[in-house]
Amino acid sequence: MERIPNASQTESLEALRSAVRKSETALAAMSRKGAGLTLVDKRLRALRIGLAALEEDWQGTPYAYGREELADARQTLSGLIPSVQESFEKAKAGSPQKTLLRRRIEALNAAVRKLDERT
């Protein structure tokens, strides 16, 4: 993987951690309402795996996921990128939301590249 500056690494890790927290909150809310959880659960798992892959590469934190889990996570994260990009394009220039979305896109792309290396 190409060398990514420490500041960008920190921003990417925090963006993925934020996405994980947001997905955990959504999953909890949906389970209370009795809604279908499959999609949110799948995305949450993929975000956790992507985060773990980046933490391993950038911080030396080991993780233990199988090849199939990595491939599924990679596919799921790749599928999230277009919708996040669409939200980014609609966000107001200079807004905190636009900054968050830019960081999330960078983090998702980094996670997908890292997962590509592992599968």
Model pLDDT for residues 40-72, shown as the tens digit of each residue = 999 999 999 999 999 999 999 998 899 999 999
Of 116, 80, 108, the closest CA to residue 1 belongs to 116
pLDDT above 70: residue 1? no
pLDDT of residue 80: 96
Q: How many Cα atoms within 13 Å fall on the side-chain side of residue 62?
A: 1
Residue 97 is which amino acid? Q
Q: Which residue has the higher pLDDT, 37 or 111?
A: 111
Mean pLDDT of the chain: 92
CB contact at 8 A, 91 and 101: yes
pLDDT of residue 5: 81
pTM above 0.85, yes or no: yes
pLDDT of residue 2: 61
As a whole-number percent, the residues of the chain with pLDDT over 90 amount to 77
